[in-house]
Amino acid sequence: MAFSTLPPPRDNWPWVVRLLPAALAVAFFAFGLAYPDHLSADGVVYEAIARHLTANTTLGRQALVASAWWPPFPTLLRLPFTAMATLPGIWPIPSLLLSSAAAAWVVSLLIRRFQQWGLRGGHTWIAPVIIAQPFFLEQTLGGGLGPLIGLFALHATDGLAEWTERRRLRALVRLAAGSAMLIGSSLEMVPWVAGLYFCLFFDLVCGAFPRGQRAAVLWLALLPPVAVAGFWFLLNWLIMGDAIYFLRGVLRHRELLSRPIVAPFPFSPMDALAVIIALLSATAAAWRGRRAGVFLGLLAAAPVGMAAILNLRGLLGSPTPLLFVAAPLTVFAVAYHARDNAHRVLARTVAWIAALALTLGAIARLPERSLFAPERASYAALATQRGHWLPCLESHVRLLSPFSVVFVAGYDSLALLGPHPPPMFVSTLDFDFAAAERDYEGNRLFLLVRRPEGRGAMDSIHWKFPRIYERGTRYTLYDSDWGDWRLFEIVQLRPMEKAP
Amino acid sequence: MFHPLFPLKADDRVIEDPLALCRIHPALSAHQPLTWAQSVVAGFLAAALMGGLLARPWTTARVLVFCATIFYLLSTFYKLLLVRMSVSRQAEIHVPPEALAADDDAALPTYSILVPLYREPESIKNIVAAIAAMDYPADKKDVQLLLEEDDAVTRSAADALTLPPSFRITVVPASFPRTKPKACNVGLARARGEFLVIYDAEDRPEPDQLRKAIAAFRTLPPEVVCLQCKLNFYNPRQNLLTRWFAGEYAAWFDLSLPGLSALGALIPLGGTSNHFRTAALRGLLGWDAYNVTEDCDLGIRIYRRGGRTRILDSTTWEEACSSLPFWIRQRSRWLKGYIQTWLVHMRNPAALWKELGPVNFIHFQMLIGGIVFSLLINPVFWAMALTWFCFRWTALMTLFPGPIFLMSALCLFVGNFIFIYLGGIGCYRRCYFDLVKYAIFAPPYWALMSIGAWRAFGQFFTNPFHWEKTRHGLFHASPAP
């Protein structure tokens, strides 16, 4: 008699496949360190928040929750590595660690699924093709958020596919956990998560379930993302005194944004081809009655469409994770379809075309969407700013008064000032004139505000004091411009006058 | 390799003594709640704590908060690990129906079934019927109803029944301590079967459970001396308390224990439906008559002697305690027993480390000490969180410097959510779909558990061997799910 007391059958993965993720992670990390100028400024901001959190500062707690554009999970995931961020230089080592590990995990997950789906041997090339995507490399080697978002999205999608096919509880949990992580990691992924849940609802409506199971599935699927959102509201209420503080910039984005963040949308014919391939895969799955395949195809095609819509509304970040996740999801969808013996040759051909198209597409649009190109996005650009004009600004202000204090508004201030800012510079995320004057009585006060562009346009300084960059406020006097930044002197308030 | 505590010969009479463990290996028995050395260490720790709180109250409090936070964090990860492992192939033993169909009745061994009863006249009829209905040759069943000498009510009820031929009544002499394990030891001495199982009076085991256990034992190595079946309730929807209780049981028996089994870790046995190789159980000198969670203690002892326990995929349905006062008493007894068990095995930590190995030593600390510890300190942290949310008492912040604050916040928000969510997963896995939503409202249930823990803590010092009897028969529906 031989039942489950026997050890499980050994999978016959080659040892290379087992070691690949670790090797890739190490390689990504090493390359990232070798080219610190390409590191993403986002990583520097998240690490600065993590450092402030570890130091238990009010700024750290505010920064963790106060903006939907800077969600909490990327910071929380960096916390264990924060000690490393104090190493000489301020290379965002935690960011690199995270992006390298996440990227390696993405590749590993893809290869594992290909193995399980019988796409062994020569067909594991699809995963390395993902790595070859220039956009993938940019984000991974730059310590960007893309790989992490890609990993969560892939887990959620994988969970949905497995749930739709096999109704396994663990798949449902993976779907829910992936969605929760996405909600807590990227505002732009929220519509995509909504799409994912729409697929789940559709499946629940169409499938046959015992009494009560549908409700239970919904509870388990919705609870994690709802909890993440709920905690975010709660923490805003506790820390900022306003439960929707983090959303205020988004809610008023139309009046805050003087121009779209990425204009025009970096859309290339290759994007269209990738979308077409994903939609073809969905159509083929629908033709064959494979609901999971339909979902995968639609979810793979969705990011590019959603990015276009968000771009029209001025809500597309730069770099956007939506365009990052499109490639792995498309490959995943096509590979899912390719596992079927009936259409294997056709599907393999399509998979080859997909991979080729994605690679060519990414190469074609590299110059226009590269992380390295936008001046404000790279760490190198910020370091240059810090190195060049920040000391000049410090001297300028010190000349006016040795007891000057410069408030640097917004999340970008965390990247600009770095881990060891000069003592006269103070980052602020929830600036208040009255409080500043009260807390720094006797000092000459200045406010440094960045040009309202992209995510920075939705920082609280801009929605609390609309058009401050262009016109100042009744409490500020224009002083000078420093790169993208504008310096205002804060006018001392009269005793009976209250600032907003 | 399993090493019995006492190498019994066929004609050895020592096992007839229900207090054999205490007499032969007193160091493994809870008859002495605290040893002299433990009292000294406890006194020293208490003095150090008091001294610290008097001399440097904030620093001492900060250190305590730090230790508790680290513990909470580890507990959360530990729980996640167990749940992750519970879905592995080795988590539990599934016996397919075809394996049972191939069984030859003549080749089946005699199976001893012990049913300890005390003041449960209303349950006796049901348990006799449930055991009689089990799919096992009647002449191979050796059923003992263990009745206390002074329990006239239950004895009359038993006398009024016409018991099937394989049933017999064993009278347990009235003596101290008056506990279930002592009764079980009396039954063990008279057991005739090669294998042995315990059922409680209100149990309804799945009919093929004995066959499944035999099939599993035959394929398992001899060091696996015990199979723990899953337990759950036939009255989960009776009231809110039973709903929560069923969710907790589902999370424990369907997630945590299979997870432990997959890790090859020690398993604290759960009260009833433990199937043993009788010889091995005798070699362990049976149950500790002084321990009020003798099952948990026996589970640890099995591992200390090189034995192993596995989880069998068969369920015994019990009656969930639906009355809050009785539930609190039951919980107090369990947690008091956990305290006893932890103290018994920690009398010589070095020996425990050596016998269990480092990994199982950690499992022991997390499972036995950790559960009680977390339930005891939970109210303190809830009170602090509530105080902070309501009054923003800034002095509290000084207890949570930098990283500790972050870890505590993580435990408060993420950790608690994980525990809630795992309750929901447990319900789903047990197919209690309608109970999933009740898992979200489990925190008040945790508060009840903490009340039970503090009651147990107090009772450990005042009445350590007192067996608080859980009252059953409050639910009268008959068929098991």
* pLDDT of amino acid A277: 82
pLDDT (average), residues A251-259: 66
Mutating which of A10, A209, A223, A235 best tests the B interface, going by the most B Cβ atoms within 10 A? A223
Average pLDDT across chain B, whole number: 91
Higher local confidence (pLDDT), A340 or A465: A465
> Nearest 10 degrees: CA dihedral of A164, A341, A119, A102?
-20
Q: Is the pLDDT of residue A97 over 80?
A: yes
CATH number at residue B20: 3.90.550.10
Most confident range, picked from A341-350, A445-454, B137-146: B137-146
Determine which helix (DSSP H) or strand (DSSP E) holds A214, and give its type and residue range.
helix A213-235
Which two three-digit tokens encode residue A406? 């410069």
Q: Is the pLDDT of residue B318 over 70?
A: yes
Q: Is the pLDDT of residue A500 over 60?
A: no
Question: Which of B219, B389, B427 minimises the CB distance to A1?
Answer: B219
Q: What is the pLDDT of residues A412-422, one digit of tens each?
A: 888 888 777 78
* Residue A211 at interface with chain B, using a CB cutoff of 8 Å: yes
Q: Which chain A residue's Cα is nearest to B430? A: A169
Mutating which of A220, A228, A235, A239 best tests the B interface, going by the most B Cβ atoms within 10 A? A220
> Can you give the three-state secondary structure of chain B, one letter per residue?
CCCCCCCCCCCCCHHHCCCHHHHHCHHHCCCCCCCHHHHHHHHHHHHHHHHHHHHCHHHHHHHHHHHHHHHHHHHHHHHHHHHHHCCCCCCCECCCHHHHHCCCHHHCCCEEEEEEECCCHHHHHHHHHHHHCCCCCHHHEEEEEEEECCCHHHHHHHHHCCCCCCEEEEEECCCCCCCHHHHHHHHHHHCCCCEEEECCCCCEECCCHHHHHHHHHHHCCCCEEEEEEEEEECCCCCCHHHHHHHHHHHHHHHHHHHHHHHHCCCCCCCCCCEEEEHHHHHHCCCCCCCCCCHHHHHHHHHHHCCCEEEEEEEEEEECCCCCHHHHHHHHHHHHHHHHHHHHHHCCCHHHHHHHHHHHHHHHHHHHHHHHHHHHHHHHHHHHHHHHHHHHCCHHHHHHCCHHHHHHHHHHHHHHHHHHHHHHHHHHHHCCCHHHHHHHHCCHHHHHHHHHHHHHHHHHHHHCCCCCCCCCCCCCCCCCCC
CB contact under 8 A, B89 and A8: yes
Q: Where residue B7 falls among pLDDT bands split at 50, 70, 90?
A: confident
Q: Is the pLDDT of residue B335 over 90?
A: yes
Higher local confidence (pLDDT), B271 or B96: B96
Q: Is the pLDDT of residue A130 over 80?
A: no
Q: What is the pLDDT of residues B346-381, one digit of tens each?
A: 999 999 999 999 999 999 999 999 999 999 999 999
Q: What is the pLDDT of residues A68-90, one digit of tens each?
A: 989 999 999 988 887 665 555 55
Contact list, B90 vs chain A (CB under 8 Å): 4, 7-8
* pLDDT of amino acid B187: 94
Contact list, A238 vs chain B (CB under 8 Å): 389
Q: Is the pLDDT of residue B476 over 70?
A: no
Measured between CA atoms, how close is A440 to chain B, in angstroms? 22
* pLDDT of amino acid A1: 40
* Residue A229 at interface with chain B, using a CB cutoff of 8 Å: no
Q: What is the pLDDT of residues A212-235, one digit of tens each?
A: 999 999 999 999 999 999 999 999
Contact list, B401 vs chain A (CB under 8 Å): 56
* pLDDT of amino acid A41: 78
pLDDT (average), residues A175-179: 96
Backbone angles phi, psi at A15, to 5 degrees: -65, -25
Contact list, A170 vs chain B (CB under 8 Å): 87
* Number of domains present in the structure of chain B: 1
Measured between CA atoms, how close is A80 to chain B, in angstroms? 10
Contact list, A83 vs chain B (CB under 8 Å): none
pLDDT (average), residues A324-329: 82
* pLDDT of amino acid A236: 93
User: Are B80 and B417 spatial neighbours (Cβ–Cβ below 8 Å)?
Assistant: no
* CA-only gyration radius of chain B, Å: 23
Q: Where residue A369 falls among pLDDT bands split at 50, 70, 90?
A: very low
* pLDDT of amino acid A342: 55
Question: Which of A55, A76, A220 minimises the CB distance to B424?
Answer: A220
* pLDDT of amino acid A53: 87
CB contact under 8 A, B406 and A224: no
* pLDDT of amino acid B35: 93
User: Are B402 and A60 spatial neighbours (Cβ–Cβ below 8 Å)?
Assistant: no
| Residue A72, Cβ density class (10 Å: 0-12 exposed, 13-18 middle, ≥19 buried) | buried
Contact list, B431 vs chain A (CB under 8 Å): 210
Report ipTM for this prediction.
0.87
Q: Which of residues 140-169 of A touch B (CB under 8 A)?
A: 169
Mutating which of B428, B430, B431, B441 best tests the A interface, going by the most A Cβ atoms within 10 A? B428
Whole-number percent of chain B with pLDDT over 90: 74
Q: Which of residues 41-100 of A touch B (CB under 8 A)?
A: 53-56, 76, 79
Lowest mean pLDDT among A99-108, B12-21, B295-304, B367-376: B12-21
Q: Where residue B198 falls among pLDDT bands split at 50, 70, 90?
A: very high
* pLDDT of amino acid B271: 81
Contact list, B433 vs chain A (CB under 8 Å): 210-213, 215-216
* pLDDT of amino acid B181: 92
pLDDT (average), residues A276-287: 86
Whole-number percent of chain A with pLDDT over 90: 29
pLDDT (average), residues A35-49: 80
Q: Which chain A residue's Cα is nearest to B428? A: A216
Q: Which chain A residue's Cα is nearest to B214? A: A1
Q: What is the pLDDT of residues A9-27, one digit of tens each?
A: 455 556 666 787 888 889 8
User: Are B166 and B191 spatial neighbours (Cβ–Cβ below 8 Å)?
Assistant: no
User: Are B421 and B441 spatial neighbours (Cβ–Cβ below 8 Å)?
Assistant: no
* Residue A204 at interface with chain B, using a CB cutoff of 8 Å: no
The DSSP result for A415-458, as a single string, is HHH-SS--TTEEEESS--HHHHHHHTTTSEEEEEEE---GGGGG
Q: What is the pLDDT of residues B204-243, one digit of tens each?
A: 999 999 999 999 999 999 999 999 999 999 999 999 999 9
Q: Where residue A261 falls among pLDDT bands split at 50, 70, 90?
A: very low
Q: What is the pLDDT of residues B437-465, one digit of tens each?
A: 998 889 999 999 999 999 999 999 998 88
Residues of B near A (Cβ–Cβ under 8 Å) read 87-90, 92-96, 99, 102, 215-216, 218-220, 310, 389, 400-403, 405-406, 410, 413, 417, 421, 424-425, 427-429, 431, 433-434, 436-437, 440
Q: What is the pLDDT of residues B64-111, one digit of tens each?
A: 999 999 999 999 999 999 998 988 877 899 998 888 877 788 889 999
Q: What is the pLDDT of residues A379-405, one digit of tens each?
A: 666 667 667 788 889 899 999 888 899
Average pLDDT across chain A, whole number: 81
* pLDDT of amino acid A124: 59
User: Are A94 and A84 spatial neighbours (Cβ–Cβ below 8 Å)?
Assistant: yes
Q: Is the pLDDT of residue A320 over 90?
A: no
Which two three-digit tokens encode residue A153? 């999205």
Q: Spell out the residues 6+ positions from residue B421 whose beta carbon is closer than 8 angstroms to its own.
A: A220, A223, A224, B439
Q: Which of A226, A211, A163, A220 is nearest to B434 (CA)?
A: A211
What is the spatial distance between Cα B281 and Cα B195, in angstroms, rounded to a whole number? 9
Range of the domain at B254: 1-481
Q: What is the pLDDT of residues B279-297, one digit of tens each?
A: 999 999 999 999 999 999 9
Higher local confidence (pLDDT), A346 or A62: A62
CB contact under 8 A, A223 and B440: yes
Contact list, B92 vs chain A (CB under 8 Å): 4
Whole-number percent of chain B with pLDDT over 70: 96
pLDDT (average), residues B153-177: 90
pLDDT (average), residues A325-344: 76
Contact list, A210 vs chain B (CB under 8 Å): 431, 433
What is Dmax (Cα atoms) for chain B? 75
